[in-house]
């Protein structure tokens, strides 16, 4: 079993990390726009009302990002040159509904994305579109309390119906909410949640999660109603948990930590809450308001496929205080002594990707889609400006081989693979440009300086070869790299 001929090779980005144009074309502000580059980014990510205004002392990278708002035609041309079959991107909710509760959508925003989809189609690239990728209009945070408020279900559903109707025939693959389980770990990033004094944080997070799950099911229902050809997926921040030792309590802790993420996908893929989640709500006295109508909606619209991001596995213990921890994992993890780490402390585990694919396929028996995977690294150009990023090639090569093994040996049904940050973008965790993922270099630094010029890295030509061979040629020897590539 080789990869199918229609396997969807491509790359992935998010509007808030690439688009810029924060105040252009009638767009409103969103939660991610308020996150500065630098040490205070974590303070904002923790959710504080006083930080929901731009401060003069901060640099806000999402305001301009890499200016794909004005460079999208150039970027799509480069994606086409690499041979992309699919491009995963997101819509900015506040570009379509600037305040989130507007009576009418912003036509200029709708037209902007329509032009992108038509340009992608012109080059034979299938759009894979995330409806909400960490974007919540600022007005919905300030005046509604964001996803804690069940009114957001209807506001999101109206937004989803608007874009699903407008882009019928242009987009066939949709994701409802990006990395939905991030809501539990970074509530402001994942859901625009700002906690109020005296609140039970766990109850607020799981109530917000319930509203997101119902909204996701409504979007899936609407998508199928508008166009039966639509394929709708959920999206998990993936990576399985290893027990640090073979002590039974460590193994149990790994099961519990896996369930924190799978909880969301269990609901979206199966249409109902798993018993372990309901028992937790009962045990911890979490009063999660669910109506019978909510449960009927969840049951009526399971997703068509399961998508996920994968950067690293995680290692856990019932006694985490006994071990050294890594510095770069958003979920918090014990350092695995058997794995190397990136410059930002993420541990590299290609076999973990194969393990994750098997776990999820065994659990859901639905097609899977790897929609984020990549290496964040500092790229240093040579004397002529060329970036020889063999380290990135090596990382992605190992992960491609891992998912090929999952398909060819284990029989996993895999729709496609989109590398994260196919063009350099601002990092979600740090706001930095120096943490680069792309096959295409963007002349932009951590302070916002640079020309925005795009140039091809060595990995550009390697990925072009990988796609052309449908994953059969993973070698980086004898790549057809033009001598003057760095200054094209």
pLDDT tens, 337-351?
999 998 888 899 999
Closest CA to 308 of 352, 341, 257: 352
Tell whether the model's pLDDT for residue 487 goes beyond 70. Answer: no
Provide the pLDDT for residue 381: 94
Task: List, as one string, the DSSP characters of 315-366.
Answer: EE-S-GGGS-B-SS-TT--BPPTTS-B-TTSPBP-HHHHHHHHHHHHHHH-S
Give the list of residues 6+ apart from residue 107 with CB closer than 8 angstroms, or none: none
Tell whether the model's pLDDT for residue 486 goes beyond 70. Answer: no
Contact between residue 346 and residue 329 where contact means Cβ atoms under 8 Å apart: yes
First to last CA, the chain: 40
**Averaged pLDDT, 461-477:** 97
Q: Is 372 a catalytic residue?
A: yes
Q: What percent of the chain has pLDDT over 90?
A: 89
Closest CA to 434 of 355, 362, 344: 344
Reading the block at residue 462, the tokens are: 């390697």
Question: pLDDT tens digit string along 160-181?
Answer: 999 999 999 999 999 999 999 9
Tell whether the model's pLDDT for residue 485 goes beyond 60. Answer: no
CA distance 54 to 57: 9
CA distance 235 to 308: 5
Question: pLDDT tens digit string along 226-277?
Answer: 999 999 999 999 999 999 999 999 999 999 999 999 999 999 999 999 999 9
Tell whether the model's pLDDT for residue 94 goes beyond 90. Answer: yes
All domains of the chain in start order, with CATH: 8-469 (3.20.20.80)
CA distance 303 to 176: 9
Contact between residue 185 and residue 142 where contact means Cβ atoms under 8 Å apart: no
User: Kind of pairing, strands 414-420 and 440-442?
Assistant: unpaired
CA distance 95 to 110: 8
Degrees (nearest 5) of the Cα angle 308, 309, 311?
145
Provide the pLDDT for residue 45: 79
**Beta strand residue intervals within 158-217, DSSP E:** 173-177
CA distance 252 to 171: 42
Reading the block at residue 371, the tokens are: 């929609």
Backbone angles phi, psi at 478, to 5 degrees: 60, 40
Provide the pLDDT for residue 488: 41
Residue count (the chain): 488
Average pLDDT, the chain: 95
Q: What percent of the chain has pLDDT over 70?
A: 98
Closest CA to 160 of 217, 109, 207, 89: 217
Question: pLDDT tens digit string along 196-229?
Answer: 899 999 999 999 999 999 999 999 999 999 999 9
**Averaged pLDDT, 28-34:** 95
CA distance 236 to 178: 7
Closest CA to 16 of 58, 50, 48, 60: 60
Degrees (nearest 5) of the Cα angle 310, 316, 322?
140
| Range of lowest pLDDT (42-56, 65-79, 253-267) | 42-56
Backbone angles phi, psi at 366, to 5 degrees: -125, 155
H or E segment to which residue 78 belongs: helix 68-82
More confident site: 174 or 484: 174
DSSP state of 367: -
CA distance 53 to 62: 14
Residue 200 has a CB neighbour count (10 Å cut-off) of 14
| Range of lowest pLDDT (54-58, 119-123, 447-451) | 54-58
Whole-structure pTM value: 0.97
Q: Say how far residue 300 (Cα) sits from the centre of its chain.
A: 25
Beta bridge partners of 301: none
CA distance 350 to 353: 5
CA distance 339 to 362: 25
Degrees (nearest 5) of the Cα angle 392, 344, 395?
20
Q: Which of 372, 413, 472, 488 is catalytic?
A: 372
Tell whether the model's pLDDT for residue 329 goes beyond 70. Answer: no
Closest CA to 485 of 467, 459, 451: 459
**Averaged pLDDT, 314-325:** 94
């Amino acid at each position: 079993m080789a990869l199918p001929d229609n396997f969807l090779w491509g790359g992935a980005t998010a509007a808030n990390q690439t688009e810029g144009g924060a105040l252009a074309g009638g767009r409103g502000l969103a939660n991610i726009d308020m996150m500065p580059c630098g040490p205070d980014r974590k303070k904002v990510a923790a959710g504080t009302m006083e930080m929901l205004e731009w401060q003069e002392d901060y640099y806000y990278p999402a305001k301009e990002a890499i200016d794909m708002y004005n460079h999208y035609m150039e970027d799509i041309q480069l994606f086409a040159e690499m041979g992309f079959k699919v491009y995963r991107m997101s819509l900015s909710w506040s570009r379509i509904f600037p305040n989130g509760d507007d009576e009418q959508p912003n036509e200029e925003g709708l037209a902007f994305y329509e032009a992108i989809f038509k340009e992608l189609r012109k080059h034979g690239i299938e759009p894979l579109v995330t409806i909400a990728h960490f974007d919540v209009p600022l007005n919905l945070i300030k005046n509604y309390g964001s996803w804690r408020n069940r009114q957001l279900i209807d506001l999101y559903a109206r937004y989803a119906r608007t874009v699903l109707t407008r882009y019928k025939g242009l987009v066939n693959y949709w994701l409802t909410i990006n990395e939905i389980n991030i809501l539990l770990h970074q509530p402001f990033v994942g859901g625009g949640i700002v906690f109020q004094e005296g609140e039970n944080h766990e109850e607020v997070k799981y109530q917000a999660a319930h509203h997101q799950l119902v909204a996701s099911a409504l979007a899936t229902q609407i998508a199928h109603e508008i166009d039966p050809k639509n394929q709708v997926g959920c999206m998990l921040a993936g990576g399985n948990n290893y027990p640090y030792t073979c002590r039974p309590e460590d193994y149990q802790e790994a099961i519990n930590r896996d369930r924190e993420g799978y909880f969301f996908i269990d609901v979206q893929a199966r249409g109902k809450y798993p018993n372990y989640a309901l028992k937790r709500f009962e045990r911890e006295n979490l009063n999660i308001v669910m109506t019978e109508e909510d449960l009927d909606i969840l049951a009526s619209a399971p997703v068509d496929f399961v998508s996920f991001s994968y950067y690293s596995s995680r290692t856990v213990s019932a006694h985490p205080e006994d071990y050294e921890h890594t510095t770069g994992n958003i979920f918090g993890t014990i350092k695995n002594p058997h794995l190397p780490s990136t410059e930002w402390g993420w541990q590299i585990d290609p076999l973990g990707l194969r393990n994750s694919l098997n776990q999820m396929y065994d659990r859901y028996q639905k097609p899977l889609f790897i929609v984020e995977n990549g290496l964040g690294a500092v790229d240093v150009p040579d004397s002529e400006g060329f970036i020889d990023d063999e380290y990135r090639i090596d990382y992605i090569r190992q992960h491609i081989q891992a998912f090929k093994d999952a398909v060819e040996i284990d029989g996993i049904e895999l729709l496609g693979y989109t590398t994260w940050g196919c063009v350099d973008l601002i990092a979600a965790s740090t706001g930095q440009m120096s943490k680069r993922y792309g096959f295409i270099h963007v002349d932009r630094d951590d302070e916002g300086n640079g020309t925005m010029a795009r140039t091809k890295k060595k990995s550009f030509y390697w990925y072009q070869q990988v796609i052309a061979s449908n994953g059969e040629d993973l070698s980086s020897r004898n790549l057809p790299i033009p001598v003057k590539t760095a200054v094209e």
